[in-house]
């Protein structure tokens, strides 16, 4: 434990040292919530990766690769599609965020649809949907501390230790806001996905050279995916990839990354940089774990493949490095989630207007982060057998935001009536189907409840767009909003001052 826990302690101290050295007092709420919109493409890349690939990638998804084989590559598939979506979204999202001082996803919805109600609704959806994943992240850290204790700590004690570590870490997250999250993401991302990729390469070489395991060693079942005639349904895999791809930017902690960039070009460069990094890391991890499934210890407990393989191949040193990678990935994901929730509480409910000063909003955001940290810590240490099911359901729910988000960015005709009604209907349909079928829906050939709810959501949104045409004033506001992303606005997106109806709406969007 001196080796394994010692490595974790050294890494944790390095993160804290970096945060202490980089501390800058926030000038206002936007500084706190989006880091002053000051980060370049490499920071954007690592910030996205450190939020998108949590510690569970090394545990749950690696275990999925060891247990089911090539099916696990659906994560890589929808991750690449999510990165591709970053490119077309960049111009409007960043430009509107800069010109109208947007700091949260819910404020973005409020600006697009000129509605206070949708701001509060989307804030609730984001907070409720993200919370189970914070708890699962802390419990994944507990599994890591358990494995690295070499059997000396029980799983319950390991979870308590993981919670204690993350509670200590949240002192700097609460103090520094998004600036601290993005800066630490840079270091944590290099360790988790750079160091992790190097460790994966070493493990792969060991499997091939020392253990003689090749592709020919794998069974046919490991190399197959659900298709026509499968128990899950012929469209099950499509549903997972589709919902994962369009749902990626619905998470508040992911969406806010677009606001932290120093320009549209940085966001687009980050998309280009994230593609090869995702391919190298994810494909290497899943392919290595597929080969490792031939080892008896891994076959008996596939969920522990990352730690079992590291210890068998490289002893305590490799096991310690494997734990550091999981800690680095988990910290970035949990920190980003908690910070986004705090900002949503301040921006989505308190509102940024004359009733609240910047100082008061900062206090509200920090209190929100403190409360959610305490609740997540309590839940992680509790016995919650339905938590994983709740997390799966929350993902089916969060993708309902994709309709008003994606269509709202690229289609002027959408209106607040369709956005609100579509979200409500989509959630009701999703919840009812999930309650009845718990996953894929048999009569829909394996489509998940969220995808079917999304279809109903889209139908309502599109219908309302034609049933309730925009008033002349609203159409003028939208035309000015969309025209602000013309070539001249993109060349210098922060230089012009919003005018007329758009400017007035932007100043009132927090009320």
- CATH number for the domain that contains residue 41: 1.20.1740.10
The conformation of residue 131, written as its DSSP 8-state character, comes to H
Asked whether residue 456 is domain-assigned, the answer is: no
Which residue range is the domain that position 221 belongs to? Answer: 4-380+470-508
pLDDT in tens, the chain (511 residues): 899 999 999 999 999 999 988 887 766 777 778 888 889 999 999 999 998 998 888 988 898 899 888 888 988 999 999 999 998 999 999 999 999 988 889 999 999 999 988 988 888 888 888 888 888 788 788 888 989 998 899 888 888 898 888 888 888 887 888 888 899 999 999 999 999 999 999 999 999 999 999 888 888 777 878 777 777 788 888 988 998 898 889 998 899 889 999 999 999 999 999 999 999 999 999 999 999 999 999 988 888 899 999 999 999 999 999 999 999 999 888 888 888 888 777 766 666 555 666 677 777 777 877 888 788 777 777 665 445 556 666 778 889 999 999 999 999 999 999 999 999 999 899 889 988 887 788 899 889 999 999 999 999 999 999 999 999 999 999 999 999 886 434 444 443 434 444 443 443 444 3
- Return the axis-axis angle of helices 74-99 and 264-292, rounded to nearest 10°: 160
Strand residues in 361-487 grouped as ranges (E)? none
In a domain, 431, yes or no: no
3-class secondary-structure state, position 137: helix
Long-range contacts of 504-510 (CB under 8 A, 24+ apart): 505/111, 505/114, 505/477, 506/99, 506/100, 506/101, 506/111, 507/353, 508/353, 509/100, 509/102, 509/107, 509/110, 509/111, 509/119, 509/352, 510/107, 510/110, 510/347, 510/350, 510/351, 510/352, 510/353, 510/356
Terminus-to-terminus CA distance in the chain, angstroms? 53
What span, in angstroms and rounded, lies between the C-alpha atoms of 305 and 58? Answer: 9
Report the pLDDT value the prediction gives residue 349, as an integer from 0 to 100. 64
> In a 3-state reduction of DSSP, which class is residue 138?
helix
Within-domain flag for 324: yes
For residue 108, being part of any structural domain is answered with: yes
Global pTM value: 0.86
- Backbone phi and psi for residue 103, each to the nearest 5 degrees, phi listed first: -125, -15
CA angle 368, 336, 374 (to 5 degrees): 40
In a 13 Å sphere around the CA of 501, the CA atoms on its Cβ side amount to 16
Does 20 fall in a domain? Answer: yes
Task: Give a yes or no: residue 423 inside a domain.
Answer: no
Total domain count, the chain = 1
Angle at 372 between CA 4 and CA 403, to 5 degrees: 105
Beta bridge partners of 39: 261
Asked whether residue 488 is assigned to any structural domain, the reply reads yes
Contacts of 365 (CB under 8 A, 6+ apart): 29, 32, 33, 177, 342, 343, 345, 346
What angle, rounded to 10 degrees, do the helices at 4-21 and 116-148 form? 140
Residues 6 or more apart in contact with residue 21 via CB below 8 angstroms:
none
Phi first, then psi: what are they for 39, rounded to 5°?
-105, 140
Contact 476, 412 (CB under 8 A): no
In a domain, 111, yes or no: yes
Nearest-angstrom CA–CA distance, 116 and 126: 16
CA distance 224 to 294: 16
Please state the φ and ψ torsions of residue 440, each to the nearest 5 degrees: -70, 150
């Amino acid at each position: 434990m001196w080796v394994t826990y010692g490595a974790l302690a050294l890494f944790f101290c390095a993160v804290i040292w970096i945060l202490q050295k980089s501390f800058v007092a926030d000038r206002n709420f936007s500084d706190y919530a989006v880091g002053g919109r000051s980060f370049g493409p490499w920071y954007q890349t690592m910030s996205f990766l450190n939020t998108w690939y949590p510690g569970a990638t090394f545990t749950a998804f690696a275990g999925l690769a060891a247990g089911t084989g090539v099916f696990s590559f659906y994560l890589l598939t929808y991750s690449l599609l999510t990165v591709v979506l970053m490119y077309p979204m960049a111009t409007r999202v960043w430009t509107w965020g800069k010109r109208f001082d947007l700091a949260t996803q819910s404020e973005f919805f409020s600006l697009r649809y000129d509605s206070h109600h949708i701001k509060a609704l989307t804030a609730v959806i984001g907070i409720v949907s993200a919370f189970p994943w914070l708890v699962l992240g802390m419990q994944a850290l507990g599994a890591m501390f358990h494995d690295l204790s070499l059997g000396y700590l029980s799983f319950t004690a390991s979870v308590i230790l993981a919670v204690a570590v993350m509670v200590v870490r949240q002192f700097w997250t609460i103090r520094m806001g998004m600036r601290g999250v993005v800066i630490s993401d840079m270091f944590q991302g290099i360790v988790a996905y750079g160091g992790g990729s190097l460790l994966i390469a070493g493990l792969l070489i060991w499997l091939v050279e020392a253990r003689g395991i090749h592709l020919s060693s794998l069974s046919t079942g490991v190399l197959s995916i659900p298709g026509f005639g499968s128990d899950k349904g012929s469209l099950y895999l499509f549903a997972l990839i589709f919902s994962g791809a369009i749902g990626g930017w619905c998470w508040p902690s992911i969406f806010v990354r677009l606001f932290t960039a120093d320009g549209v070009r940085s966001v687009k460069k980050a998309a280009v940089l994230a593609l090869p990094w995702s391919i190298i890391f994810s494909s290497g991890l899943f392919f290595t774990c597929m080969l490792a499934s031939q080892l008896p210890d891994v076959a008996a407990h596939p969920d522990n493949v990352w730690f079992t393989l590291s210890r068998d191949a490289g002893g305590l040193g490799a096991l310690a490095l494997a734990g550091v990678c999981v800690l680095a990935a988990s910290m970035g994901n949990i920190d980003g989630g908690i910070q986004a929730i705090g900002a949503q509480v301040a921006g989505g409910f308190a509102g940024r207007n004359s009733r609240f000063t910047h100082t008061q909003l900062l206090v509200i955001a920090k209190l929100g982060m403190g409360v959610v940290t305490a609740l997540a810590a309590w839940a992680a240490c509790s016995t919650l057998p339905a938590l994983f099911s709740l997390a799966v359901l929350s993902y089916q729910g969060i993708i309902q935001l994709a309709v008003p988000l994606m269509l709202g960015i690229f289609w002027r005709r959408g209106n607040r009536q369709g956005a609100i009604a579509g979200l409500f209907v989509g959630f009701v349909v999703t919840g009812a189907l999930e309650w009845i079928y718990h996953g894929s829906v048999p009569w829909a050939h394996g489509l998940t409840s969220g995808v079917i709810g999304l279809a109903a959501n889209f139908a309502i949104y599109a219908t309302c767009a034609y049933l309730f045409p925009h008033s002349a004033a609203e159409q003028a506001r939208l035309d000015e909003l969309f025209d602000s992303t013309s070539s001249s606005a993109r060349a210098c997106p922060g230089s012009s001052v919003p005018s007329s109806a758009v400017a007035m709406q932007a100043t009132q969007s927090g009320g």
